[in-house]
Amino acid sequence: MVKALFHILFLVMVVRVHGQEYLNPDRPNESKTPELVKGNNLQLEVGLKKEKINDGQNLYQHPHALLRYGLFNALELRMEIVSQTIKDNVSKNSLKGLTPVYFGVKAKILPENNWVPSIGALAEVGVPSLASGDYFVDGIPFEFRILFNNNVNSNFSLQYNIGVAWNETNNQRDNKQWMYTLTPSYKISKDLHVFLEEYAFLRNGTSAEHYFDGGVQYFLNRDLAVDLAAGVGTSRISSDYYIEGGLSYRINFSR
């Protein structure tokens, strides 16, 4: 799986294409941008992640891959694939394979106007039949987010999301997970961006998961960026910490 994805990445990287604007990745932070991939552009975002869930468990994503395709500058089509391993250091057991593959759309609702943020919407649905046995879920997982972005000035921006995800099954109807993100970011230069972030997941009947992270993005050119991020859990049921890195690449089929 990993080898196939990197073969795809190699093939698109040898095509010499350059967009008029810098690409706008949805990684590595939890916040998603309301901006869309331009029409007839394909964007591939790939990353590796290690997360220490607790003293007994570690999670590895190898890789997390997101494909984004711009449709007529008005809509973005998405496919998200995650190859994941969870290792239990106590029992020595592990879960391995693909999590449910997600298909989704992102739409731009309003452009930014002075202090009124740009607004977008993102909806994704998972397909359990495309998951490995260890990650099969009973029901159809679904996620919906409203996406916001304020450009305070030419270098500083504030991105934030609110959303809900759920996996309704025959035995459990009220299993929604609410979430929010808040991400200030700063452009040190046109090629080097840094960010901080606070986000949380909230569920009925349990404590909230809170996280704080930060990271850096470096743009090798207008169509290629690399990133590195790390975060820590700040509540009782959060994971201890995680670190991840990856790259994003855009190809313009209209050239």
How many angstroms separate the CA atoms of 109 and 125, rounded?
Answer: 20
Calculate mean pLDDT across residues 179-206: 95
The rounded mean pLDDT for the chain is: 90
Calculate mean pLDDT across residues 221-240: 97
pLDDT tens column, 77-129: 999 999 999 999 888 899 999 999 999 999 999 999 999 999 999 999 999 99
Residue 246 structural domain: 2-252
**Residue 14 pLDDT level (bands cut at 50, 70, 90):** very low
pLDDT (0 to 100) of residue 12: 42
CA 87 to chain centre: 22
Going through the chain in order, the beta strands assigned E by DSSP cover 41-54, 57-71, 75-88, 94-98, 101-110, 118-127, 140-151, 156-168, 177-187, 192-203, 209-221, 224-233, 241-252
Nearest to 66 by CA among 230, 249, 217: 249
CATH number, domain with residue 141: 2.40.160.40
pLDDT (0 to 100) of residue 205: 79
Q: Which residues of 187-216 are buried (b: 16+ CB within 10 A; e: fewer)?
A: beeeeebebebbbbbebeeeebbbbebbbe
pLDDT (0 to 100) of residue 43: 98
Nearest to 98 by CA among 132, 67, 49: 132
How many domains is the chain built from? Answer: 1
Which residue(s) pair with 118 in the sheet?
149
Torsion of CA 127, 132, 133, 137, to 10 degrees: -30
Torsion of CA 185, 33, 202, 103, to 10 degrees: -150
CB 223, CB 212: distance < 8 Å: no
**Is the per-residue pLDDT at 173 higher than 80?**
no
- For tokens 């009220």, the residue is 174
What pTM does this model have?
0.89
Sign of CA dihedral 215, 5, 24, 27: negative
Stretch (H or E) spanning 5:
helix 2-13
